[in-house]
Chains A and B, each alone.
Chain A
Amino acid sequence: EPEVTQTPSHQVTQMGQEVILRCVPISNHLYFYWYRQILGQKVEFLVSFYNNEISEKSEIFDDQFSVERPDGSNFTLKIRSTKLEDSAMYFCASSPYREYTEAFFGQGTRLTVV
C-alpha cells in the first residue's frame, strides 16, 4: 500500500543551524502539508502546498521556515536558523486532490534542537 515516507526519523541539531526535513508523498497526490507537534501538545498546522506554491500558512510558519518541491517526488521543510522551541515532531501529509476527505500522514521526524 502506498505511504508517505519521511526522513530522517530523528534529527539532532545545534541551535542556529539549518535543517531540512524530507518527505516523499504518495506518488499521485497533489496537495501537501506540514504539521508540527511539540512534545505533549496538540498537532498544529504549519503550511499547505499545491501547484508549486504555498496555499496557506499558519502564524507559526514565519520567515525561518520554507517549503520546496525540488523534484517530482520530494517535499521538503527547511528551518533556516533553528531555535530550542523548534524541537518537535514534524509530520508530512498528502492528499490526492483538494476535496479528498483523508490526509495520509508520514511517520514523522523528531527534531531535537540542543
Chain B
Amino acid sequence: AQTVTQSQPEMSVQEAETVTLSCTYDTSESDYYLFWYKQPPSRQMILVIRQEAYKQQNATENRFSVNFQKAAKSFSLKISDSQLGDAAMYFCAYRSADPRRSNYKLTFGKGTLLTVNP
C-alpha cells in the first residue's frame, strides 16, 4: 500500500518570503501522480499543483513549484513571494497511474499548516 508522509505539522513564513513544505511517499509503482492540495479555513480542497512521475521536469504554477526527486521518493512544494492568502493547510497526495486499477483514489498525508506572517 502507498503511504504519504508530511513531517512538518506546522510551518510559518513571512509575507513575501519563500517557504518549502516537505513530503515523502512510499510506493512500489513506477507510474503515478503526486499532488499538493490547499485547504483554507473554508475547508474546500483546492488543487495547487500536480506532477506526473514519468516527467523529469518539475511542475510549476506561478508562485508554486515542486522539487520532485523520484529516486528519493520526495515531493516538496516551494511557495515563492508568500502572500497572506496562502495561509492554509497543505496536503500532499498520491495517485496511482496503473491502468489495471479500477479507480484512482487519492492517498493523503497528514498535512502541514502554513501560517503567513505580515
Contacts and interface: CB of A to CB of B under 8 A. Distances in A.
Contacts of B108: 42-44
B16 interface: no
Interface in A86-114: 89, 91, 93, 95, 98-99, 101-103, 105, 107-108, 110
Contacts of B33: 101
Secondary structure at the A interface, as helix, strand, loop or mixed, is strand
Interface residues of A, number: 25
Interface string B19-51: 000000000000001000000001111110010
A65 interface: no
A56 interface: yes
Given A42-B91, A42-B111, A98 B45 contact: no
Given A42-B91, A101-B33, A89 B106 contact: no
Contacts, number: 61
Given A108-B43, A110-B43, A102 B50 contact: yes
B40 to A, nearest CB: 11
Contacts of B111: 42
B80 interface: no
B106 A103 contact: yes
A42 B6 CA distance: 10
Contacts of B101: 98
Given A56-B103, A105-B44, 7 more contacts: A31-B103, A33-B106, A48-B102, A55-B103, A93-B45, A95-B104, A102-B50
25 contacts: A31-B104, A33-B103, A33-B105, A33-B106, A42-B91, A43-B45, A43-B93, A43-B106, A45-B107, A48-B102, A48-B105, A55-B103, A91-B45, A95-B104, A98-B102, A99-B97, A99-B99, A101-B95, A102-B47, A103-B104, A103-B106, A105-B46, A107-B42, A108-B44, A110-B43
